[in-house]
Chains A and B, each alone.
Chain A
Amino acid sequence: MATVTVKFYAGIREAAGMRSKEFEAEDISGLLSSLREKFGDEFMDVLLDEETGELKRFYSCMVNGKRIELLDGYDTALEDGDRVAFFPPVGGG
């Protein structure tokens, strides 16, 4: 198990009721389970698509600034000190 800092932004932060928290998890799937345990189903409804069980369209999860789609997706292994961020749709310049 790795200890990672998870940061929540915008509507996800509102649903979590906090900006960031440390979690222990092996990979992103494991982290999502821990999030469900901690914050409950309502929080997960903000984050995940009901049908696919994966992140909603345009929602992103990043590990140290890299989108998990460019890593190993939900199997992306976590290491101690990793920073995981969850974002709702945001982008531009």
Chain B
Amino acid sequence: MIKGIGGEILWVDLDKSHIDKRPVDDETVYKYLLGAGLLSKVLYEKIPLGIDPLSSKNILGIATGLLTASMFPQASRHVIAGLSPLTDIWGESHAAGFWGPELKLAGYDAIFFTGASSDPVYLNIHDTEVDLLDAEPVWGRDVFETDDILRERHGKQCRVLSIGQAGENRVRFAAIMNDRDRASARSGLGAVMGSKRMKAVCVRGTGRIEVAQPKEYLRTMDRFYERMLANPFTPERAKYGTTNLVELMHNIGRLPSYNMREGVFDEYEDISGETITEEYLVKPRADWSCLQRCGRFTRVKDRPYKYIGGSPEFESQSSLGSRCGNRNVESVLFSHHLANQYGMDTISLGATISWAMEAWEEGLITEEDTGGLDLDWGNHEAIVKLVKMIAFREGFGDLLAEGSYRAAQKIGRGSEEFVMAVKKQEIAGQEPRAQKSMGLAAVTAARGADHLYAFPVLDEAGFDDEIKERFGKKYLPEMADRLDPTYKGIMVKECEDYMVMIESVGVCKYGTQIPPEFYYDDISEALRVHNGINLSPEELQEIGERIVNLNRMFNVERGVTRRDDNLPKRLTDVPSPRGPAKGQVVELEPMLDEYYRQRGWDPETGIPTEQTLKRLGLK
């Protein structure tokens, strides 16, 4: 009997307004864990081929991990997955907060939504009571209003996960928000939720979680806390969150600017972590059991960008700031705040706007297209206007709501060349010519361009000791050198296996990957004392590998091959024009060859071989 879990899975049939509770199956847990692993398995089996992601045939899954709600440092996560309306392949997104732990305390490890409701509904969970309710009072409302209304109605201690207007309007990069400003942002799963007319999941859990070995658990967690607190990253993360990555990225040439034409931004200090911390920070905020405290609570005091709320993090500073040539920090903060309010992925949002700005500069988009809006680089007023126009699909915003890939297909005129996406999803704030591993990670990630599926940060700013420990001395110095493509296939493969496993146990990447404080052996120990599960570090690694291969097969069955594992020409063929990565391109092909070899995938097609699938028990 597995401990430390809720124990049940909710199947919500929106066609029939029927809710089914099914027990967690132990065998699945031993093969896939929970969280990302569980969703990968169930959705691989159940989502039909050839469907429109925004049709009622799509299935949306939400799951917590085996350690979610435990005392493991940063055990705050839940995962959401389905067929992505942005990429038409595997869609997955994660968020921290308190919603996931609350769901587990109510007794549930996952929820699957099938079908679509004819009228807007929301799910209300209060321990064993689970009801689909009329969403009329919250439909059309933004994320913050929805949170206020549902907590007013069901109790202040409830935790709310919802979509905003962007999800209702099926913006292809709509997010699913929780705890007001935590976003499961990538893959556009908010639009899937909107297409199901499913507005929110309001949860109150007052149950207990039974731990396998209480005494040992407390001792182990105590030790983990000490380690996390002693890590030199901890005070820095609490102080700056991720905001001062702007300074680091500019210095290493990895800060995308002007639609990723460059990797430096001369005005970076204006949008830096130091500026935000000194002038706008109200306080840091932490999620469940978090010692890293990367969350921010900020305020702009004066109009026109006045607000108070949770934001920002590095990705938004880069996408809505440097990537759009925008040095007006208050507009960056405010547009992030608006994106949270309407429920949108700030990465795709800023990247899509910056695509339009470059096409505008090139004369490929004109006032006729934009309805009179001037899209000069750095026009912060236009950026802020567009955030709302996209969420509500107004005017030119309706086109951008499709994401840069589809927008460029529609506009044509050569604007396709400026789409900085992989498999239709916009590349995040990592200029890969300045960090080759990030280029590879963006093309191999299951959900299209993505930095988090592998999160290969070991070569970023000095983890030589960890590289030695995880891989061996012989890989140094090449593996630790951001600009050297050597061994990056090995590194990205290892990081992917580890990160999907981490997303299946429900702990944050901060603490497990950066800083790399906890590793397989620690997770193995935590699962033993918390869940009573005995899985060795090697077995956990194999589970990670199994999940990655299953995600790949999900995509292969939808037509993905090596041809799709590709970067925009700008990044592979055009040398970085200036800054620390000047002259660099991403040497993608040799890295991919190495990666496929490591994975046991056919190097010609990029498809897992029979032998690999058999070894992982997938055949």
Contact = CB atoms under 8 A, between A and B. Distances in A.
Nearest to A10: B244
A32 interface: no
Interface string B456-483: 0100111010000000000001001100
Contacts of B377: none
B560 to A, nearest CB: 24
A41 interface: no
Contact of B477 (A9, A58, A69, A90): A69
Contacts, number: 93
By secondary structure, the B interface counts as loop
B239 interface: yes
A53 interface: no
A27 to B, nearest CB: 19
Given A10-B244, A65-B251, A58 B480 contact: no
Given A10-B239, A65-B253, A66-B580, A90 B481 contact: no
A7 B250 CA distance: 12
Contacts of A85: 251
B252 A89 contact: no
Nearest to B457: A91
Nearest to A61: B462
B437 to A, nearest CB: 11
A70 B274 contact: no
Interface residues of B, number: 42
Contact of A93 (B233, B239, B428, B581): B428
A91 B245 contact: yes
A56 B510 CA distance: 20
Interface in B215-269: 232-233, 236-237, 239-240, 242, 244-245, 247-248, 251-253, 269
Interface string A52-93: 000011111010111101100000000000000101111111
A92 B514 contact: yes
Contact of B462 (A7, A58, A64, A65): A58
B429 to A, nearest CB: 7
A18 to B, nearest CB: 12
B90 interface: no
A65 B580 contact: yes
Interface string A3-23: 000010111010000010000
Contacts of A64: 580
Given A10-B236, A67-B461, A87-B248, A93 B314 contact: yes
A67 B248 contact: no
B381 to A, nearest CB: 29
Contact of B232 (A56, A62, A65, A92): A56
5 contacts: A7-B251, A66-B580, A90-B240, A93-B451, A93-B452
Ranked nearest first, the 4 interchain pairs of A and B with the lowest CB-CB distance are A65-B580, A89-B233, A91-B461, A89-B232
Interface of A: 7, 9-11, 13, 19, 56-60, 62, 64-67, 69-70, 85, 87-93
